[in-house]
Amino acid sequence: MFIDGKWVESRSGETFEVFNPATGASLATVPSGNADDATAAIDAASNAFADWSATTAYERSRLLYRSWEIMTERSEDLAQLMTAEQGKPLRAARAEVKYAADFLIWFAEEAKRVTGEWLPSQRADQRFLSVKAPVGVVAAITPWNYPISMLTRKMGPALAAGCTLVLKPAEATPLCAKATYEVFVDAGVPDGVINLVTAANPAPIGDVFTSDPRVAKLTFTGSTAVGRKLAGKSAANLQRVSVELGGHAPFIVFPDADPVHAAKGAAALKFLNAGQACISPNRLYVPASLSDAFNETLCARVDKLETGNGVVDGVGVGPLVNEAAVAKVEAQVEDARGKGAGVPVGGTRLTDGDHGSGHFFAPTVLTGVREDMTVYREETFGPVAPVITYEDPDEVIDLANDTNYGLAAYVYTRDIGVAMRAFEGLRFGIIGINDVNPTSASVPFGGMGDSGLGREGGHEGIAEYLETKTGGFAI
C-alpha cells in the first residue's frame, strides 16, 4: 500500500493473493488493509491538502503532463500486467492504457481552465467575486473491469482541482493500481497527496471512507447495489458523491439500417472485455424484417471469436473475473433456454484443455428473447448477446427505456431524423449513433437513474471536485 509517500504493509500484517483469471496462477501477495490503514491514509491526505491545494494550476498541470509521459513510456508493461491480472486480451489492454493516459493529458489542461467570474451587485459600493476551490480530501473506489483507466479518470481531475485523495482499488486488480501509483510517484507527486489502500475485504474501508468527516467527497465505480449503500452512508455525512454504476444498454437497429453493418458493430462491442463493461449492449432490438440478415452476420462473427488467455495471439475474448461471474452468465443463459430462446452460438462454459484452469464462458448469441427471461431485465456482465425481435419502430424507444438503468444506448439508422428523435427520446446518458465507441476523455461519461450520479471526463469531470466560493467586497 502507499500511504504518506511510502510503500507500506498493512498494520495487521495480513495479506491476500492475486490470481490470473485465465490460468488460476497466483501472481502476487499484497497487503490486506483494514479500517486503521484507511484512517492512516486519510490522515496523510488531510495533512497534505493545505499545501497541495495552494499550488498553482500550472504546477498541478505539469505533474499530470509528466504522469502522462511516464504512463505512455510504460504502456506495454502496463498492458501486459493488466492482461495477466484482469484477463482482457492484450490488444484491449493496450487500448485501455492509452485511454487511461488520455485522462491525464486532458485534465492537465483542464487544471488551467478553472476560472471564476465577477458578478454584478445592486449596490454601487459592492463587488462580487465567485471562484472555484477544491472540495478537499477525496475517497475513491475503483472496479476491476477497467483497472487502470478508472483510476486515472478519478485521479486526474481530483489532482487537477487541487484535491488530495485516498483510493481503494478492486480486490481482484491491486497490482494494476500499484503500477498506476508508481507512475505518479515517479512523476514527483508530493507525499500524502495520493494514498492507496488495498484490501481483501472492502467493507471496513468503505465504512471509514463514508464516515470520516475529513472526507469531503466519495467517488465510486461499480455495481448499483454497492453504490446505493455507499451513497446512503455518505449522505449521513453530507459528503459530495459521484457514482458510476451498472447498465442495461439497448442496441436498436431501425428498419432503414444496414443489418450487416449493425451486426458487425454489435459483435465488436458486445464481446469487448468479455462483455464485462457497464456500457456493453444487453438488449439487441432488431426489426423482424432485418432479423435474418442481422442474426446471420452476428452469429458468423461470434462463432469466429477465439476465447482464451489474453496473451495468446488471435484471442478476442478473455476470461470472466471469477467463478461467480461464470455462474451468473450460465444461469441467465439456462433461464432463457428453458423459456424457449434459441442458442445458435455458444451457450456453455468452456472447461476443456487450457480453459480448464480459468473462468471462461463461450461467446453466446440468444435469439427469440422475451420479457419474461432474466437476461431481458438484468445486466449480464458477460459474453452473451440477447436478440429481441420487434415489429413496431414507433414503440421500440419505449421498450428501450423500460429499465431503471440509464447509462448507455446504441442506435443504427441511415435516417438523420430517426437518429435525432432516438437521441432525444432515449433516457440514457451516453448514446452512440452508428457508433460503438461513444466515449473519450474529452466528453462527459455517466448515466441516469440506477446508473449513477455525476459525470466523469470532459469539462464536467473536474467540476465534480470543485466547490463554488463567493466573496462580497464592500469598497
Instruction: Return the active site residues.
Output: 244, 278
Instruction: Determine the Cα–Cα distance for residues 57 and 70; give it in Å rounded to an integer.
Output: 20
For 186, other C-beta atoms within 10 Å of its C-beta total 14
CA–CA distances in Å: residue 311 to residues 81, 116, 121, 327, 369: 10, 49, 64, 24, 34
Phi, psi of 296 (to 5 degrees): -60, -45
CA–CA distances in Å: residue 337 to residues 105, 201, 342, 345: 47, 36, 7, 12
Do residues 436 and 253 lie in contact, with contact meaning Cβ atoms separated by under 8 Å? no
For 379, other C-beta atoms within 10 Å of its C-beta total 24
Task: Give 305's contacts (C-beta < 8 A, 6+ positions apart).
Answer: 267, 271, 316, 317, 363
Instruction: Determine the Cα–Cα distance for residues 216 and 104; give it in Å rounded to an integer.
Output: 22
State the cell numbers at 221: 465505480
- SS3 state at 51: helix
CA–CA distances in Å: residue 379 to residues 279, 324, 360: 10, 14, 18
- SS3 state at 54: coil
Instruction: Name the burial class of residue 475, with classes exposed (0-12), middle (13-18) and buried (19+) by CB atoms within 10 angstroms of its CB.
Output: exposed
- SS3 state at 11: coil
For 74, other C-beta atoms within 10 Å of its C-beta total 18
- Provide the β-strand partners of residue 471: 129
State the cell numbers at 391: 415489429
Instruction: Determine the Cα–Cα distance for residues 457 and 152; give it in Å rounded to an integer.
Output: 10
H helices of 339-475, in order, are: 374-377, 396-401, 416-425, 458-463
State the cell numbers at 360: 471462461
Provide the 8-state DSSP code for 433.
Answer: E
Instruction: Determine the Cα–Cα distance for residues 305 and 94; give it in Å rounded to an integer.
Output: 19
Strands 137-141 and 164-168, how do they pair?
parallel
CA–CA distances in Å: residue 347 to residues 253, 298, 375: 24, 15, 13
Do residues 336 and 375 lie in contact, with contact meaning Cβ atoms separated by under 8 Å? yes
